[in-house]
Structure 1
Amino acid sequence: MKKKKYTSVSPHRHDFIEFSLVLEGRGKERINGAEHDLRPGTLVLLLPYQIHEYRSLADDRLTMYICNFDMQLLATGPEAAWGLDELLLGRDPDQPAYVRLPEEALGETVRLWDALYGEYESSQAWRPIVLRSLLLQALSQFVRHGSAAQEPNKKGRPAPSSRNIWPVVQYVYEHFLDPLSLQELSERFHVHPTQLSSQFGEQFGLHFVDFLHELRIRHACSLLLSSTLPIAQIAFESGFSSYPTFSRVFLRLKGVTPRQYRERRNGER
């Protein structure tokens, strides 16, 4: 979690959830090509691999709280049964990724995020439990104010076709080190391979295999920096069945070879 001032952030994507609150300033954010205003009281819940960028208006700066966390926080545990997994598995593609808080709710929300940030910066006993509790409260505000702002014709559950992709994404996150293919996923989730491939392209702007490779290369990077394992072994530990494929994909995504990446990052340390 961080509290920072921004003038602009170039287009990028994450493999985790990003939850943010605008405290001061005004600007614009673009998520998967759709632009919306940023102003004090704007809450944004950005799902994994959604491409976004933002910038402040001229002569202004955005002050924001930004909180990042793994998607399994919403997709597993008792909270998922209470409806938090609907933020992922049931989100209507037409539903905005942001909520504009009413003025009367802004003070309470800022105090909640202040408490969340204060707990994150602390080292007190039971810190993870308190952090989780405060984060769930913040998410509940997003859900409640987002539901209240929905137009009547947008209420209700989304069409089945819009619900298919997030269970698949969750499964890939949990099994990306295993052998996976589009055909296997289509059979498991009863979705035609062509439709599933199209959904990955529409939602993330990349093919399924590229989505899978990015997860595996991220895992490989952590092993390169945190272990002394031979690079060939890291390739197989990261889900690749071929060392040449691993090397080629790593170079394409990182711009350097695995060995160069390890040497440079260790040198920076």
Structure 2
Amino acid sequence: MRLHVEYEHEIPVNAFIWSPDTHITPLHHHASLEIGCCISGVGRFYFGSKQYEVAPGDLFIVNHTERHIACSDVHNPSTYLFLKFEPSLLLAENERLLLPFSIPSERFQNMIPASSGLSNDILPLMEKIWSEIGSRQEGYAMLVKGLLLQICARLLRYYSSELTPHDWGKLTESFLKFRLITAYIREHLHEPLQLSDLAETLQLSPSRVSRLFQDVVGRGFKEYLLLLRLADARRMLVRTDMTVTDICFASGFQSVSSFYRVFVQSEGLSPLAYRKKYSVNAIIENYDL
């Protein structure tokens, strides 16, 4: 079962306390990444055919492909603090931060036991994110992003030492290929790109390129391309005085009507309404001196 995740903040990160049922519910997966830490009680966590006994201080890493669910002990129910976030946050900084979430399931240990001591470093950072998102004070989105990057950098360091040099080398090789892919996309974002264009340019098979997208960002090529174009359009709307039509074609959309449709679906606002709300000029004009 695939779940759709909604974010209610300026930054695509959710933080929440969760207590699983005492019986196993259907396994699910989602495009978001997750980091969970058991803060009390005991239970089990299932990832496909893998299962882990859970105790306080155990950390769990959930990627965008593995089906998973947790359940609580009847007499001592488990409780977790979870972070759920978009892979694009890490990709925008350094694609290597996604490496721990991209290790093939058969070789991946989803649980980092409390005995490792890592939760002593990571849980306080998770709690700060939870607090910042809950209070939504000025600048909270920037603080949340910084804290999340610290957490993922620690996970990168941990898993790089846990895998064999051979397995880590194969994984990083895939990410180097994906770096070339994203560089090509950004250079040609305004053009009518096809998956076959990437495959031919990078001398990879279309199936290999498609698989890289799923492995690294948990999305297909077309969905990822749309997200990039929408991000580019949002940037131009708030930072330039270009017309909406010019922005439409500059960000790679092929028609104004389709641009309006997908923009409203994504943002809940028309492009002009988005500009009015978020552009720097609009903020200055509306500021009461």
Give the TM-score normalised by structure 2: 0.55
CA gap of 1:46–1:127, structure 2 versus 1, over 3 A, is: same
**Offset of residue 108 of structure 1:** 4.3
Q: Which residue of 1 aligns with 2:67?
A: 52
Contact 2:91 2:97 (C-alpha < 8 Å) held by counterparts: no
SS in 2 for 1:2: strand
- In structure 1, C-alpha distance between the alignment counterparts of 2:173 and 2:167, rounded to whole Å: 16
Q: Which residue of 1 aligns with 2:97?
A: 87
Q: Which residue of 1 aligns with 2:20?
A: 6
**Aligned positions, number:** 213
- Structure 2, unmatched stretches of 5+, are 1-14, 227-256, 264-289
SS in 2 for 1:27: strand
SS in 1 for 2:19: strand
Where in structure 2 are the equivalents of 1:19-58 lying within 5 Å?
A: 19-24=35-40, 25-30=42-47, 33-39=48-54, 40-47=56-63, 49-58=64-73
CA gap of 1:237–1:198, structure 2 versus 1, over 3 A, is: same
Q: One-letter code of the match for 1:114?
A: E
SS in 1 for 2:27: strand
- In structure 1, C-alpha distance between the alignment counterparts of 2:68 and 2:167, rounded to whole Å: 28
* CA deviation map 1:12-49 (0-9, x unaligned): 3322322222223221221xx351315233333333x4
Give the TM-score normalised by structure 1: 0.58
**Offset of residue 2 of structure 1:** 0.9
- In structure 2, C-alpha distance between the alignment counterparts of 1:213 and 1:188, rounded to whole Å: 20
> Given the alignment, which residue of 170, 181, 205 partners 1:158?
170
Note if 1:69 corresponds to 2:92.
no
Same amino acid, percent of matched pairs: 18
Note if 1:131 corresponds to 2:156.
no
RMSD of aligned C-alpha atoms? 4.3
* CA deviation map 1:133-170 (0-9, x unaligned): 2222222332333334x154556422677447855996
- In structure 1, C-alpha distance between the alignment counterparts of 2:67 and 2:225, rounded to whole Å: 19
SS in 2 for 1:143: helix
